[in-house]
Amino acid sequence: MLKQILCSSVIALLSPSYMYGYLHDVAIECHSPSGRTHLTFNNPDLGHTMTKGHLNIDGKSLYYNVETDNSNNTIVNHLKYGIFTLYYKDTKKEISFHSIPKSVKKIESRIIKANYLFNGIIMLNSTDPRESQNNNDKTLDYDIQVECSLEILSNQN
Q: Is residue 13 included in any domain, yes or no?
A: no
**What CATH number did the domain enclosing 64 receive?**
2.40.370
Q: Is residue 14 included in any domain, yes or no?
A: no
Q: pTM (2 decimals)?
A: 0.76
Report the amino acid identity of residue 99: S
Which residue, 9, 4, 52, is CA-closest to 28? 52
Amino acid 5: pLDDT: 34
Q: What is the pLDDT along the chain (157 residues), one digit of tens a residue?
A: 434 433 333 343 344 433 334 456 788 999 999 999 999 988 776 677 778 889 999 999 999 887 777 788 888 888 889 999 999 998 888 999 999 999 999 887 666 566 899 999 999 999 999 876 555 568 999 999 999 998 877 554 4
Q: Is residue 66 included in any domain, yes or no?
A: yes
Give the count of domains, the chain: 1
Amino acid 136: pLDDT: 59
Q: Is residue 51 included in any domain, yes or no?
A: yes
Amino acid 20: pLDDT: 39
Residue pair 157/20 in contact (Cβ under 8 Å)? The answer is no
Q: Is residue 79 included in any domain, yes or no?
A: yes
Q: Is residue 63 included in any domain, yes or no?
A: yes
Q: Is residue 80 included in any domain, yes or no?
A: yes
DSSP 3-state helix, strand, coil percentages of the chain (rounded to 5)? 20, 45, 35
Terminal C-alpha separation, the chain: 32
Q: What is the dihedral of CA 34, 40, 45, 50, to 10 degrees?
A: -130
Amino acid 92: pLDDT: 85
Q: How would you label 103-139 residue by residue, b for 16+ Cβ within 10 Å and e otherwise?
A: ebeeeeeeeeeebbebbbbbbeebbbbbbbeeeeeee
Q: Is residue 7 included in any domain, yes or no?
A: no
| Domain containing residue 91 | 21-155
